[in-house]
């Protein structure tokens, strides 16, 4: 069940993540940024499961939930600081139409 939910959420998250990269990285660095993004995603999947198992073994499910919640808050906080030098796509679409 968890794998199914994760797969569904990944269908929404991945396109958004890949669409953000060209807006925050210079064009000359785009290949390296996409490679780093893909590497980080693969590394998170590779390392995350064993670390989760260790956390459950050492602290129980409550520890895992707390760690997960803290990681989500940290990412949400970091996302607030993302700024792009480009116009909004909504503004661009309105100007064209």
The answer, yes or no, to whether residue 21 has pLDDT greater than 90, is no
Give the total number of structural domains in the chain: 1
Structural domain that includes position 12: 2-96
The DSSP string of 45-62 is: HHHHHHHHHHHHHHH-HH
Evaluate if pTM is beyond 0.85.
no
- Which letter does DSSP use for residue 88 in this model? P
As a whole number of angstroms, the longest Cα–Cα distance in the chain is: 58
What's the pLDDT at 89?
58
Q: For the residues 22-45, what does the mean pLDDT come to?
A: 88
What's the pLDDT at 31?
92
The answer, yes or no, to whether residue 5 has pLDDT greater than 90, is no
For residues 18 and 37, the answer to whether their CB atoms sit within 8 Å is yes
Give me the chain's average pLDDT, please: 83
């Amino acid at each position: 069940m968890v794998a199914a939910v994760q797969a569904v959420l990944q269908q929404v998250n991945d396109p958004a993540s890949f669409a953000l990269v060209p807006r925050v990285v210079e064009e000359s660095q785009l290949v390296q940024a996409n490679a780093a993004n893909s590497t980080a995603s693969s590394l998170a999947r590779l390392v995350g499961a064993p670390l989760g198992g260790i956390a459950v073994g050492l602290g129980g499910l409550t520890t895992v939930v707390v760690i997960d919640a803290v990681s989500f808050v940290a990412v949400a906080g970091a996302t607030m600081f993302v700024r792009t030098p480009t116009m909004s796509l909504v503004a661009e679409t309105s100007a064209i139409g």
